């Protein structure tokens, strides 16, 4: 059990707490699900990019799925080898592509014909061969939140099947491109197995059609998106997930590349915030806390649900309250009409499932320093990012003040 009260007292609030032992267990469970097949688990750095988190997975043998050159650099700093790093994302600029090629990462996930042309041109400039994968959009409804759906034609990601085949032929004929993989990712927080199976089947059939014209791929990149429990979701077991994918690959000798993020970190993370006071406006009751939407944006951005636990000596009858922060926006809330007992100043609220897309989506809005981050491993806590100071916030601006 994590002693949240002691951690809040030692490190202050708002505060992110990550359970590294839980992350290890999740990673092992997913790796074991693909046992017997060549596979790389490439942690999706965007989920939680703290260097200590990335390093933790690196020590377990993980690769890294990166969506900016900054994330690629983080992966290297954390100890992930080049041959386990992939670079995805729709809008890579020339400098990012150039650096990825120079660093000789496993491959670049290409998202459009225009991008393929840029990768080829830059590789030619450098006199190098760039390994690439093409992200295929299988046009499958992932049955998830529209903001985190990525596998339909009206999403910005990937290319359709005919375009993909044309791009593979172009890449195969280029002396500066080496098509080694194929990639699909239909969305995040997936809780239905059938869309995943259908997408994998479509992409596997494309691989067979490429083999018929002597284009041999090595990597079957299934993306990530495996859902977790925030509330009462019925989730997919990793074994069933793996079997659904593997069942589509009949006789195809490919290395599976899986890009989990949320699955590894979300339920390992907690956001601690302190009660400042309660407030009544007419019939509406508010609990005002010291954390804000700049610290944890998901409730405001997606209307996402997070379980919230009160650490208080008052265990009386609950009433419905809005839990709000100090940011000057009506969207600054963690929950609305949430059942909590009466709370006193300095009571603690623990926001669960905050280990993915929490700190990383934070900001300095209202000139608020971002939270400290700590990890707990083998029952020992340590700081992995200090709390931002006012001096941190102004350090890139102060020198430009006019006398």
Task: Give the tens place of pLDDT for each residue, 280-290.
Answer: 999 999 999 99
User: In CATH, what number does 4-15+267-389 get?
Assistant: 2.40.37.10
pLDDT at 263 over 80: yes
pLDDT of amino acid 403: 86
pLDDT of amino acid 195: 87
pLDDT of amino acid 147: 41
Query: Any idea what DSSP says for residue 370?
Result: P
pLDDT of amino acid 149: 40
Domain boundaries, the chain: 4-15+267-389, 34-260
pLDDT at 262 over 80: yes
pLDDT of amino acid 158: 85
Angle between helices 193-211 and 161-173 (to 10 degrees): 40
* Catalytic residue status for 328: yes
Q: What is the mean pLDDT of residues 193-208?
A: 93
CATH 3.20.20.10 fits 34-260, yes or no: yes
How far apart are alpha carbons 50 and 382 in whole angstroms?
A: 13
SS3 assignment, position 172: helix
In sign, the C-alpha dihedral spanning 85, 88, 93, 98 is positive
pLDDT at 210 over 90: yes
**Of residues 273, 261, 263, 265, the one with CA closest to residue 375:** 265
pLDDT at 41 over 80: yes
pLDDT at 155 over 70: no
pLDDT of amino acid 36: 85
Q: Annotate 372-384 with DSSP letters as a single string.
A: EEEEEETTEEEEE
pLDDT band for position 186 (50/70/90)?
A: confident
Q: What pLDDT, in 10s, does the model give residues 75-125? A: 999 999 999 999 999 999 999 999 999 999 999 999 999 999 999 999 999
SS3 assignment, position 142: coil
pLDDT of amino acid 316: 83
- Looking at every residue in the chain, the average pLDDT score rounds to 94
pLDDT at 258 over 90: yes
pLDDT band for position 143 (50/70/90)?
A: low
pLDDT band for position 142 (50/70/90)?
A: low
pLDDT of amino acid 227: 93
pLDDT of amino acid 152: 43
Q: Are 307 and 279 in contact (CB under 8 A)?
A: no
pLDDT of amino acid 141: 66
Q: What is the pTM of this model?
A: 0.94
pLDDT of amino acid 189: 86
Query: Could you say which of 66, 258, 328, 375 is catalytic?
Result: 328
In the chain, pLDDT over 90 holds for what percent of residues?
89
């Amino acid at each position: 059990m994590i002693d949240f009260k002691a951690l809040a007292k030692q490190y202050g609030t708002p505060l992110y707490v990550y359970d590294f032992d839980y992350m290890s267990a999740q990673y092992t469970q997913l790796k074991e699900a693909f046992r017997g097949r060549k596979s790389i688990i490439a942690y999706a750095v965007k989920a939680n990019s703290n260097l200590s988190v990335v390093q933790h997975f690196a020590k377990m043998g993980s690769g890294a799925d990166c969506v900016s050159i900054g994330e690629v650099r983080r992966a290297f700093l954390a100890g992930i080898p080049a041959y386990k790093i992939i670079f995805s994302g729709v809008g890579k600029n020339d400098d990012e592509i150039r650096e990825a090629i120079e660093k000789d990462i496993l491959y670049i996930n290409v998202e459009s014909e225009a991008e393929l042309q840029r990768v080829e041109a830059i590789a030619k400039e450098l006199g190098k061969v760039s390994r690439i994968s093409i992200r295929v959009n299988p046009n499958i409804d992932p049955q998830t939140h529209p903001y985190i759906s990525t596998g339909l034609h009206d999403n910005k990601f990937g290319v359709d099947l005919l375009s993909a085949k044309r791009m593979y032929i172009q890449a195969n004929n280029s002396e500066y491109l080496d098509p080694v993989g194929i990639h699909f990712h239909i969305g995040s927080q997936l809780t239905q197995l059938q869309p995943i199976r259908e997408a994998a089947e479509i992409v596997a059939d494309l691989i067979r059609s490429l083999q018929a014209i002597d284009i041999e791929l090595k990597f079957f990149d299934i993306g990530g998106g495996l859902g977790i429990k925030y509330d009462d979701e019925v989730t997919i077991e990793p074994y069933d997930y793996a079997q659904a994918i593997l069942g589509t690959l009949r006789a195809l000798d490919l290395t599976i590349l899986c890009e989990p993020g949320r699955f590894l970190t979300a339920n390992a993370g907690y956001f601690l915030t302190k009660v400042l006071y309660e407030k009544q406006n007419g019939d509406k009751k508010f609990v005002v806390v010291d954390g804000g939407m700049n610290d944890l944006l998901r409730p405001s951005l997606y209307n996402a649900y997070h379980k919230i636990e009160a650490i208080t000596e008052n265990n009386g009858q609950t009433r419905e309250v809005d839990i709000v922060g100090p940011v000057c926006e009506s969207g600054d809330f963690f929950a609305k009409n949430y059942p909590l007992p009466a709370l006193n100043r300095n009571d603690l609220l623990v926001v669960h499932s905050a280990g993915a897309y929490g700190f990383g989506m934070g900001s300095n809005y209202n000139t608020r320093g971002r939270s400290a981050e700590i990890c707990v491993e083998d029952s020992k806590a340590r700081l992995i990012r200090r709390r931002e100071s006012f001096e941190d916030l102004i350090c890139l601006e102060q020198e430009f003040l006019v006398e």
